[in-house]
């Protein structure tokens, strides 16, 4: 009875089957690393896990209940980091983070904002407009959101892209800390982040087979 | 634009094809027969003492107006089914109905204008009913444009389905407001088509024509749905062929 | 509630910092309205009779200008996904963004109506009624526009398509808005029109965010 699990997941994109039969089970403190070649469906799987889109088969469950039963409640438990950083050039670094904290339903106190910025080494840029940030700094600001408020499940799509070695180390530190607090993380990466006893799921092991089902389409 | 859908989501349309294989010829025959009878009756009906021969335009105009509205109802029901049960056949059916509805409303507008030229002395009058039909025509155009505006046809189908339901809520409001606006600006002195009482000599051909239009709509709707399904099937086969050749080379 | 205020606040901040949208709408409104005397002739009586209609139609078009970007930028930079994960239901996200849109474009349009009314020789007795009708009507335009913006998210030619979808749906607002303002001219009671406008606003407040949120969910899939 795992807290977060998936079974028999299959997905397709643009009419092409990506993978099928994917399953895993995570307990508090677990980490799952998704690997696979480009186009194997890592991003699609992460989006499915976040409740965006429906799998063509299979089930995703939180505490043994289908996440689709109450998607809003489930989404209150997760944090996602996608390819886009969701950084607004016109806002200041501190304003943006305070906005995200308020939107998550937490109190956006200055101390909280500072602590989250410090976690990614951006504390001195608090009043800087985001349009002055480099790509790496924008990425770190997006990571600061993870530290800014507490959600038990992190879904990270290529979190290390655009980060320097030091930032990757602090990302690994944030993930370790999150897991110590009982958090779970599912992430895709091409890079070894050095996560302690993380499980690996290779999507190449779940190739989609055109079943040649007896449907009207194939006839 | 071809209606292609993610094939994995498709319920098996074979049953629909089998069923309509049987039904479609009968429906088409019924449409042709009732249209022929209706037209003969329409031309045999006595000319109206006020409107003269032009009254015959009504035999096309009124059924077209009815079908314009009924098409929207069919489209909305199919859209609701597509949104609630995610039945892909419903998506295809909703999109197949839209151009038919647009055609019927356009026919209604054109015949209305033709009727109006001798009766009102002008090709267009902002009569409450005609105005409502004109807005309905715009709604159809918006629906068709939205359904075809996405690179992912499935997304277009969903957006258009939501739009058609928004339209259902809005149509009565539009109808009411246009009526109200019309009485505000034009005292009800205009000769309206079809008075409070209709003589049987007019009513009977009208009913037959209404029936004929129903059959025409149903037959065309089924035909369009079948065409869309076959198109999607062709796309699917092409996609598979492309995928297969890719594997061979890799 | 906090999150709602934070979202409205952010949108207002973005609008003021990046400037433009509200100001552009107002400029368009003033310019387009002042084209009419060139088109239909400058006779004061004629202008006075059609002024309310011109103002309503141009305000309606001006309110459409910035609509296609209502969700677009948030969608492109990944913010919309974060909004979907926030403590706010998507319906309230839509409502907050429509409110911000109204504050940024609707309110300036209402204020700009006063000079435009003077230009078009509107009867000054009619002006308060016109302003009231715009006050009730422009929020409905923002709400209906929100539905259109959500449905056309990611579409090709989003802006033009949006107008095509939204304009027919806005006709009732136009009818009762103009009628409410013009009733004074004709010496009629205008209470019914304003009640109907208020009723439409009351209906649009829950229904439009509901439909728009459904559209956003589809866009996020």
Q: What confidence tens digit (pLDDT) does each residue in C60-82 have?
A: 999 998 888 899 999 999 999 99
Q: Which of A2-11, A181-190, C180-189, C198-207 has the highest mean pLDDT?
A: C198-207
DSSP assigned state of A92: B
Chain A contact set for C17 (CB, 8 A): 90-91
User: Tens of pLDDT along B159-179?
Assistant: 999 999 999 999 999 988 888
Q: Number of H helices and number of E strands within chain B?
A: 6, 0
Interface of B with C (CB under 8 A): 83, 135, 138-139, 141-142, 145-146, 149-151, 155-156, 158-159, 162-163, 165-167, 169-170, 173-174, 176-178, 180-181, 184
- Report the residue of chain A nearest B86, measured CA to CA: A54
Q: Residue B228: its pLDDT value, please? A: 92
Q: Residue C99: its pLDDT value, please? A: 96
Q: Residue A216: its pLDDT value, please? A: 60
- Domain membership of residue C97 as a residue range: 2-220
Phi and psi based region of residue A78 (left: phi greater than 0; alpha: psi -120 to 50; beta: remaining): beta
Q: Which chains touch B (3 or more CB pairs under 8 A)?
A: A, C
Q: Residue B36: its pLDDT value, please? A: 95
Pairwise CA distance, residues A80 & A88, whole Å: 17
Gap from C212 CA to chain A (nearest CA, Å): 17
- pLDDT, mean over chain B: 84
Interface test with A, best of C81, C100, C220 (most A CBs within 10 A): C81
Q: How many domains does chain C have?
A: 1
CB neighbours of residue B232 within 10 Å: 23
Q: Residue C96 is encoded by which pair of tokens?
A: 């907050």
- pLDDT grade, residue C204 (50/70/90)? very high
Q: Residue C194: its pLDDT value, please? A: 92
Pairwise CA distance, residues A156 & A179, whole Å: 14
Q: Residue A34 is encoded by which pair of tokens?
A: 């998704």
Chain C contact set for A84 (CB, 8 A): 76-78, 81
CB neighbours of residue B109 within 10 Å: 20
- Taking the Cβ of residue C81 and every Cβ of chain A, the question of whether any pair is shorter than 8 Å is answered with yes
Least Cα distance to C29 among C137, C108, C118 occurs for C108
Interface test with B, best of A10, A11, A13, A15 (most B CBs within 10 A): A15
CB–CB contact C157 B149 (8 Å): yes
Q: Residue B188: its pLDDT value, please? A: 45
Pairwise CA distance, residues B134 & B178, whole Å: 11
- End-to-end CA distance of chain B: give it in Å, rounded: 32
The mean pLDDT of B67-77, rounded to a whole number, is 94
DSSP assigned state of C106: I
CA distances from B157 to B87, B90, C49, C168 (A): 12, 10, 44, 20
- End-to-end CA distance of chain C: give it in Å, rounded: 27
Weakly modelled stretches of chain A, pLDDT under 50: 212-214
Q: What are phi and psi of A186, to 5 degrees?
A: -120, 125
Q: Residue A150: its pLDDT value, please? A: 85
Interface test with A, best of B7, B9, B86, B153 (most A CBs within 10 A): B7
Q: Where are the domains of chain B?
A: 25-185+202-243
CB–CB contact C77 A85 (8 Å): yes
CA distances from A96 to A110, A198, C8 (A): 12, 32, 13
Contact between residue A9 and residue A45 where contact means Cβ atoms under 8 Å apart: yes
- Taking the Cβ of residue A58 and every Cβ of chain B, the question of whether any pair is shorter than 8 Å is answered with no
User: Tens of pLDDT along A95-141?
Assistant: 999 999 999 888 888 888 999 999 888 889 989 999 999 988 999 99
Helix (H, G, I), strand (E, B) or coil at A11: strand
Q: Which chains touch C (3 or more CB pairs under 8 A)?
A: A, B
Contact between residue C97 and residue C4 where contact means Cβ atoms under 8 Å apart: no
Paired with B205 in beta bridges are none
Pairwise CA distance, residues C67 & C69, whole Å: 5
Query: What does the DSSP assignment read for B20-82?
Result: HHHHHHHHHHHHHHHHHHHHHHHHHSPPBTTTBGGGGGHHHHHHHHHHHHHHHHHHHHHHHHH
Q: Residue B10: its pLDDT value, please? A: 46
Contact between residue C74 and residue C80 where contact means Cβ atoms under 8 Å apart: yes
- Taking the Cβ of residue C196 and every Cβ of chain A, the question of whether any pair is shorter than 8 Å is answered with no
Residues 6+ apart with CB under 8 A from C195: none
Interface test with C, best of A99, A146, A150 (most C CBs within 10 A): A99
Which of A98-102, B51-55, C169-173 comes out lowest in average pLDDT? Answer: B51-55
- pLDDT grade, residue B249 (50/70/90)? very low
Sign of the Cα pseudo-torsion (C89, C93, C96, C98, in order): negative
Is a pLDDT exceeding 70 seen at residue C180? yes
CB neighbours of residue C156 within 10 Å: 11
- Report the residue of chain B nearest C196, measured CA to CA: B177
Strands (DSSP E) found in B57-159? none
Pairwise CA distance, residues A120 & B249, whole Å: 46
In Å, the largest CA–CA distance within chain A is: 64
Q: Residue C210: its pLDDT value, please? A: 95
Q: Which chains touch A (3 or more CB pairs under 8 A)?
A: B, C
CB–CB contact B243 A56 (8 Å): no
Pairwise CA distance, residues B68 & B217, whole Å: 10
Chain B contact set for C152 (CB, 8 A): 146, 149, 159
Of A78, A86, A98, the CB nearest to C79: A86
Is a pLDDT exceeding 80 seen at residue B250? no
Is a pLDDT exceeding 60 seen at residue B4? no
Q: Residue A123 is encoded by which pair of tokens?
A: 């504390």
* Half-sphere exposure for A62 (CA within 13 Å, toward CB): 18
Phi and psi based region of residue A111 (left: phi greater than 0; alpha: psi -120 to 50; beta: remaining): alpha
């Amino acid at each position: 009875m795992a807290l977060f699990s998936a079974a028999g997941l299959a997905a397709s994109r643009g009419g092409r089957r990506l993978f099928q039969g994917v399953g895993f089970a995570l307990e508090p403190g677990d980490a799952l690393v998704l690997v696979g070649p480009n186009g194997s469906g890592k991003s699609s799987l992460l989006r499915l896990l976040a409740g965006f889109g429906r799998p063509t088969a299979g089930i995703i469950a939180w505490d043994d209940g289908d996440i689709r039963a109450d998607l809003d409640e489930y989404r209150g438990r997760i944090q996602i980091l996608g390819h886009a950083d969701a950084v607004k050039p016109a806002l200041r670094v501190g304003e943006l983070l305070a906005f995200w904290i308020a939107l998550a339903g937490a109190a956006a106190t200055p101390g909280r904002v500072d602590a989250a910025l410090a976690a990614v080494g951006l504390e001195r840029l608090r009043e800087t407009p985001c349009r002055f940030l480099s790509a790496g700094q924008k990425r770190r600001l997006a990571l600061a959101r993870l530290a800014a408020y507490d959600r038990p499940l992190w879904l990270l799509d290529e979190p290390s892209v655009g980060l320097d070695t030091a930032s990757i180390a602090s990302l690994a530190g944030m993930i370790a800390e999150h897991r110590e607090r009982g958090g779970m993380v599912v992430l895709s990466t091409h890079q070894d982040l050095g996560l302690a006893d993380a499980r690996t799921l290779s999507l190449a092991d779940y190739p989609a087979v055109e079943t040649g089902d007896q449907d009207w389409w194939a006839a | 634009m071809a209606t292609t859908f993610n094939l994995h989501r498709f319920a098996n349309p074979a049953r629909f094809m089998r069923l309509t294989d049987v039904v479609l010829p009968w429906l088409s025959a019924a449409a042709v027969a009732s249209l022929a009878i209706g037209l003969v009756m329409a031309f045999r009906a006595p000319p109206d003492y006020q409107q003269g021969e032009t009254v015959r335009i009504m035999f096309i105009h009124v059924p077209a107006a009815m079908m314009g509205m009924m098409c929207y109802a069919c489209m909305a029901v199919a859209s609701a089914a597509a949104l609630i049960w995610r039945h892909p056949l419903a998506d295809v059916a909703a999109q197949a109905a839209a151009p038919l509805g647009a055609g019927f409303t356009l026919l209604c507008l054109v015949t209305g204008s033709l009727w109006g030229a001798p009766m009102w002395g002008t090709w267009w009058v902002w009569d409450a009913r005609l105005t409502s039909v004109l807005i309905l025509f715009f709604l159809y155009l918006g629906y068709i444009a939205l359904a075809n505006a996405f690179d992912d046809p499935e997304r277009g189908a969903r957006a258009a389905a939501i739009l058609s339901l928004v339209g259902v809520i809005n149509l009565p409001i539009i109808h009411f407001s246009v009526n109200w606006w019309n009485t505000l600006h034009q005292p009800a002195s205009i000769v309206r088509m079809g008075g409070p009482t209709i003589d049987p000599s007019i009513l009977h051909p009208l009913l037959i024509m209404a029936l004929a239009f129903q059959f025409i709509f149903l037959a065309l709707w089924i035909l369009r749905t079948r065409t869309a399904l076959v198109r999607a099937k062709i796309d699917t086969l092409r996609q598979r062929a492309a995928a297969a050749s890719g594997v061979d080379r890799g | 509630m906090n999150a709602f205020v934070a979202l409205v606040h952010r949108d207002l901040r973005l609008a003021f910092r990046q400037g433009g949208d509200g100001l552009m709408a107002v400029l368009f409104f003033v310019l387009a309205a002042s084209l009419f005397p060139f088109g239909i002739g400058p006779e004061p009586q004629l202008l006075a009779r059609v002024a309310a209609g011109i103002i309503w139609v141009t305000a309606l078009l001006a309110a459409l200008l910035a609509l296609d970007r209502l969700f677009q930028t948030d969608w492109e930079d990944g913010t919309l996904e974060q909004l979907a994960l926030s403590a706010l239901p998507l319906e309230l996200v839509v409502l907050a963004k429509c409110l911000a849109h109204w504050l940024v474009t609707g309110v300036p349009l209402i204020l700009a109506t006063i000079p435009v009314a003077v230009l078009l020789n509107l009867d000054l007795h009619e002006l308060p009624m016109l302003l009231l009708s715009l006050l009730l009507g422009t929020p409905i335009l923002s709400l209906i526009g929100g539905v259109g913006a959500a449905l056309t998210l990611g579409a090709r030619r989003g802006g033009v398509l949006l107008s095509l979808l939204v304009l027919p749906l806005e006709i009732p607002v136009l009818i009762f808005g103009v009628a409410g303002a013009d009733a004074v001219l004709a010496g009629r009671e205008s209470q019914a029109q304003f009640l109907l406008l208020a009723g439409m606003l009351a209906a649009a407040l829950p229904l439009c965010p509901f439909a728009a949120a459904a559209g956003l969910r589809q866009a996020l899939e």
